[in-house]
Amino acid sequence: MPDDRQPDQTAPAVVGPAGAPAGSGTSPDWRAQQGDQLTSAQGVRLPDADHSLKAGPRGPTLMEDFHFREKITHFDHERIPERVVHARGAGAHGVFRAYGNAAQWTRAAFLSGKDAETPVFVRFSTVLGSRGSADTVRDVRGFAVKFYTDEGNFDLVGNNMPVFFIQDAIKFPDIIHAGKPHPDREIPQAQSAHDTFWDFVSLHTEATHMVMWLMSDRAIPRSFRTMEGFGVHTFRLADGKGGTALVKFHWKPVAGIHSLVWEEAQLAAGMDPDFLRRDLADAIEAGAFPEWELGLQVMPDSEDQMFEGIDLLDPTKIVPEELAPVQPVGRLTLNANPTNFFAETEQIAFHTGHLVPGIEVTDDPLMQGRMFSYLDTQLTRLGGPNFSQLPINRPRVPVNDMLRDGMHQTAVHTGVAPYLPNSLGDGKPQVADAKAGGYVPTPRRIAGPVVRESPVSFEDHYSQATMFWNSMTQVEKLHIVEAFTFELGKCYEQPVRDQMLENLAKIDAELCMTVAEGLGMPTPSGVATPDGKAELIVGLDVSPALSQLPLKPGPIAGRKVGVLVDDGADLAGVSKLRDSLESEGAVLHVIAPHGGMVKKGARSEVVERTLLTTRSIEFDAVVVADGAGSMTDRRAITLLEEAFRHCKAIAAWGDGANLLAAAGIEADAPGVQVSEKASSAQRKALVRAMGMHREWARLPQLLEEVVAT
Ligand code: HDE
C-alpha cells in the first residue's frame, strides 16, 4: 500500500519565497500565474481584457459572458474577514540561527543545534485598528514569529510589551470591546484615548502595569526594527532527559530600542500612514536587514512556580532582568520582503498551540485561553479547517495528519485508511514516542477544587507599575505624564478620569499629581501611601533595564538623513556625506525646492524629495548643505523646526547655518553641528548623534522657552 501522504509533502522541499513547493512530475503545481497567456481560472485562453461580451457595441452585456462573470464574482469575494485584533500588520521572511547553548534547557532542535538555521516568517501588527488604519498610533505592537522547524512549525506569538492587560482569558473580549471604537459612532479609530478604554482599565486594576507600558514610548516605536519583543507568558522548556525549566522569551533588537515622539507619531499617521511597514520593507530592500537576538530568562521549574516572590503564572508581571538575566540563544535576521501581501502577511495563521517537542505551555490562565482562541479564529478568517495547507502556513516537513476534506481542501489524498489502527494502510501513519521525535509533554500534576477564582498573588496590581515608573529616566517620565494627560484629556466622562487618577495615586504620588495638574483636576486625597509607593512590593523597586534610553551610541543602519540642497549647493560635500552614511548602512535623501536634478558645475544630484513631498518625520537627522542657506521656502524652515523640536540630530555647513538661524536654531544648541566646511569630523559627529537617537538635552531648554513665552 502506498503511504497516505500528500504527494508534495513527501518530496524534499523545493521552496519559493513563500515556501510554496514548485510543482514536479504529476503533482499539482502550487504556483499561480504560469505561462504568458491571459486565461480564465479554468485555463482557457482569453482574447480581450477590456470589453464584456455585448449584444452589439451599444447593447446589454450577455449572461453567457463567463469571462466577465468569473472575473466580477471573484472580485466580489476578494476580501476575507480581517483579524478581530491585530488586523493591521506587516511581515517579512527571514532566518533564525541558533547559538547552540539552549541545548542545556530544551531538546527543541531549532534552538539547541549549534548554528542550526530555521526559516521564519514574522508579522508585526497593531492591536486595535482596522486593516487600513495608521501604523504609528499609540498601541501595543504584535511580534509574531513562525519558525518552520525540522520538527514542525513553532509559533512565538508575542508583543512588544512583556505584560498584558488582564490575567484571565475570559476577559479578553471585554478589554477589546472597550478598546475598539465606540459601538454607536464607530469612533475613534485605532486608539485608546477614549472613555470606554479608560473606563475598563481604571476598573480592572490588574491592567495598571500594562497601562504604564502603553503610556510609555514603547507604544510608539520608531520602527519595527527598533522594538523589543516578548513571549509574555512563562513557558516550560524540556531537555528530553527529564529536566525542565520555566522561561520567558525576549527579542532584543540589534539596532537598539527607539521610539517616535508623540507629535511625530501623530504627524506620521496623516502624512504617511504606512510609516512602519514602509520602513521595514525599505530597510530589507536596501540590505539593512533587521535583526534581533532571541534571549531566555531561565527560572527553576519549582512546585509553586514563583520566582523571588513573583508569580510566574501572572501575565501582568515581569521578571526583572536584574534577577534573571536574558541569555542570548540565537539570532533572527529578516532578509526578504513578501512577494504578495495577501498570500503571505494576511493569510499567515499563528497559533500558540503550534509547539514543537521541548517547548511547552504553563497554566497561566491567559495562555490557556489563547490555546483555544487562535485555532478557532482561523476557521472564520481563512474559511475553514484547511488553512495549514496555504503555502505560508505549510510546515517544511512531511505532513501526514489523517485530517480529510473540508472547505478549500487542496491536497489530493491517496489511500483508503485515514484512521488508526488500520490494516488496509499497512498500519501507517505510525505514531512517534518521545524518542522518535513525538510531542510528549512533561507530565504535570493538576489537582484542586473546581472554582472560578484567581490565586491571591494575582491581587498585587501596583507594585510592578511602580517599579516601571521608578525605572524611567526624566525624559521617559515626562513622556508618560504627557501620554496620560493626553489620553485622559480625551475622555469626556468625569467618573472615568476620577477612577484613573485614584489608580495613578497608588502607583506614584508625583505621577498622579502632575497628570491631575495637566487635567486641571484636584489630586485625589488619602489614596497614596505616604511615600507614594505601592503597599506591596514584589521583586524589585527599580529595574534599570526597563529604561530604553541608550547609554552609548548604537548602530545607525537603515536610518535616514535628509539633506537640504539647492542649485549651486556644495554637492561634493553631499557626496562625501552619502559615502560616510552608506558605510554605516544609513541612507541619504536629497531634498530640494524643485524636482529633477540640482547642479553645481559639472556635478549633479538627483532630487529624491521636494519640500512638497516630504516632511521631517521621514528623517532621523536633517542637514543643510552649503549653498542652500538662502532658501526662503517656509516648508524648509518647518522641516528644521520640527526636526529640532523632535530632538533629532541637525547639521549644517557653510551658509547652511543661515537656514538654521532662520529656523531659530542656535549653532551651539545640543545635537547641532555647524561647521564652515564639509568635514569628516562633522560627519562623524552626525553619525554619533544619530546613534544616540535623540538629543534629549534640548528638552529642558525647550521647556524653559515655553515657560518664558
Ligand atoms: Fe492574541 N489573538 N489573544 N495576544 N495575538 C489574535 O488571532 C487572543 C494575547 C497576539 O500577526 C487573534 O489570528 C486571546 C497576548 C498577536 O496574525 C485571536 C487573548 C499576546 C496576534 C487572539 C490574546 C497576543 C494576536 C486574532 C487573551 C502577546 C497577531 C487573529 C487570552 C503575548 C498574530 C488571530 C498575527 C492575534 C486571541 C492575548 C499576541 C483572536 C483570546 C497576551 C501578536 O485569536
Atom nearest to 144 CA in ligand 1: 43
Amino acid letter, residue 59: G
pLDDT at 194 exceeding the cut of 60 = yes
Task: Summarize the confidence of residues 216-244 as an average pLDDT.
Answer: 98
If you measure from the C-alpha of residue 362 to the centroid of ligand 1, how many angstroms do you get, rounded to a whole number?
17
Active-site position among 86, 204, 479, 646: 86
pLDDT score of 499 more than 50: yes
All 3 cell numbers of residue 253?
533588537
Query: How far apart (Å, rounded) are the C-alpha atoms in residues 351 and 373?
Result: 8
Separation CA 603–CA 580 (nearest Å): 19
Closest ligand 1 atom to residue 168 Cα is 31
Cα distances (Å, whole numbers) of residue 285 to 209, 289, 338, 558, 563? 37, 8, 11, 10, 21
What local confidence, expressed as pLDDT, does residue 33 receive?
A: 80
How far is it, in rounded angstroms, from Cα 107 to Cα 115? Answer: 15
Query: Closest Cα to atom 43, ligand 1: which residue?
Result: 142
**Residue 420's pLDDT band (cuts 50, 70, 90):** very high
**How large a percentage of the chain has pLDDT more than 70?**
92
Report how far Cα 448 is from the mean position of its chain's Cα atoms. 38
pLDDT, tens digit, 9 for 90 and up, residues 334-391:
999 999 999 999 999 999 999 999 999 999 999 999 999 999 999 999 999 999 999 9
- Local structure of 30: helix, strand or coil: coil
pLDDT at residue 17, as a whole number: 38
CA of 482 from ligand 1 middle (Å) equals: 29
Is the CB of residue 142 less than 8 Å from the CB of residue 124? yes
Q: Whose CA is nearest to atom 7 of ligand 1?
A: 374
Q: Which pLDDT does position 284 carry in this prediction? A: 96
For residue 94, which phi and psi values (nearest 5 degrees)? Answer: -170, -165
In this structure, which topology does domain 560-708 adopt according to CATH?
Rossmann fold (3.40.50)
Answer yes or no: CATH 4.10.91.20 is held by domain 38-78. yes
Cell, residue 377: 479564529
- Amino acid at residue number 122: V
* In the predicted structure, residue 703 carries a pLDDT above the cut 80: no
374 CA distance to ligand 1 middle (Å) = 7
**pTM, full prediction:** 0.93
Cα–Cα distance for residue pair 346/360, rounded to 1 Å: 27
Contact predicate 468/209, CB 8 Å: yes
pLDDT digit string (tens) for 528-586? 444 444 444 566 899 999 999 999 999 999 999 999 999 999 999 999 999 999 999 99
Rounded Cα distance between 671 and 686, Å, is 8
State how far the Cα of 140 lies from the Cα of 131, in Å rounded to an integer: 15
Q: What tens digit of pLDDT does each residue of 34-50 get?
A: 889 999 998 899 999 99
Instruction: State yes or no: is 250 an active-site residue.
Output: no
CA 254 to CA 385: how far, in whole Å? 38
- Contact call for residues 220 and 285 (beta carbons, < 8 A): no
Place of cell 463567463: 66
Give the per-residue pLDDT at 704. Answer: 57
Mean pLDDT, range 171-186, rounded to an integer? 98
Query: Of 237, 236, 263, 265, which is closest to residue 141 (Cα–Cα)?
Result: 265
Of 67, 153, 159, 351, which is the active-site residue? 159
Burial class, 200, CB count within 10 angstroms (exposed 0-12 / middle 13-18 / buried 19+):
buried
Residue with cell 478581530: 84
Q: pLDDT grade, residue 2 (50/70/90)? A: very low
Q: Which atom of ligand 1 is nearest to the CA of 84?
A: 26
Question: By three-state DSSP, how is residue 92 classified?
Answer: strand
Paired with 603 in beta bridges are 600
**CA 697 to ligand 1 center in whole angstroms:** 39
Nearest CA to ligand 1 atom 8: 370
Do 550 and 476 form a contact (C-beta atoms < 8 A)? no
Percentage with pLDDT > 90 across the chain: 90
Q: Tell me how far the alpha carbon of residue 85 lies from the centroid of ligand 1, in angstroms.
A: 7
Give the domain 90-201+223-389 fold: Catalase HpII,  Chain A, domain 1 (2.40.180)
**C-alpha 211 to ligand 1 mean position (Å):** 18
How far, in Å, from the CA of 386 to the mean position of ligand 1?
Answer: 20
- Torsions phi, psi for 304 (to 5 deg): -90, -5
Pairing of strands 560-564, 587-592: parallel
Would you call 159 a catalytic residue per the annotation?
Answer: yes
pLDDT the model gives residue 537: 54
Q: Please list, in sequence order, all residues whose beta carbon lies within 8 angstroms of the beta carbon of residue 398, skipping any fewer than 6 positions away.
A: 5, 9, 10
Q: In sequence order, what E strands does 33-82 have?
A: none
pLDDT at 445: 86
Bond before 421 cis per omega within 30 degrees:
yes
Beta partners for residue 623, in sequence order = 563, 651
- What radius of gyration do the chain's Cα atoms show? 28
For a mutational test of ligand 1's pocket, the pick from 370, 371, 377, 392, i.e. the residue with the most ligand atoms closer than 8 A to its C-beta, is 370
CA distance 669 to 297: 42
**Averaged pLDDT, 668-684:** 96
96: helix, coil or strand? strand
In contact, 167 and 366? CB cutoff 8 Å? yes
Cα separation values, 396 from 11, 111, 399, Å: 10, 17, 9
Identify the CA nearest to 138 among candidates 259, 253, 280, 255. 259
Helical H runs in 352-452? 365-381
Number of residues in the chain: 709
Cβ atoms of 250 and 296 closer than 8 Å: yes
- 605 and 574 in contact (C-beta within 8 Å)? yes
* Whole-angstrom distance, CA of residue 101 vs CA of residue 529: 46
User: 3-class SS at 544?
Assistant: helix
Q: Whose CA is nearest to atom 38 of ligand 1?
A: 370
CA 551 to chain centre: 24
CA 525, 522, 204, 145 dihedral sign is: negative
Residues at CB less than 6 angstroms from ligand 1: 83-86, 89, 123, 125, 142, 144, 157-159, 164, 169, 172, 232, 350, 366, 369-370, 373-374, 377
pLDDT tens-digit series, residues 637-670: 999 999 999 999 999 999 999 999 999 999 999 9
Across 465-487, average pLDDT? 96
Identify whether the C-beta of residue 623 lies closer than 8 Å to the C-beta of residue 686.
yes
Q: Name the CATH architecture for the domain at 461-546.
A: Up-down Bundle (1.20)
Residue-range domain boundaries for the chain: 38-78, 90-201+223-389, 461-546, 560-708
Average the pLDDT over 88-97 and give the result: 98
- How far is residue 400 from each of residues 9, 347, 406, 417, 438, measured CA to CA in Å? 9, 22, 16, 12, 13
Residue nearest (by alpha carbon) to ligand 1 atom 25: 86
DSSP letter assigned to residue 593: S
pLDDT of residue 332: 98
Residues facing 592 on adjacent strands:
610
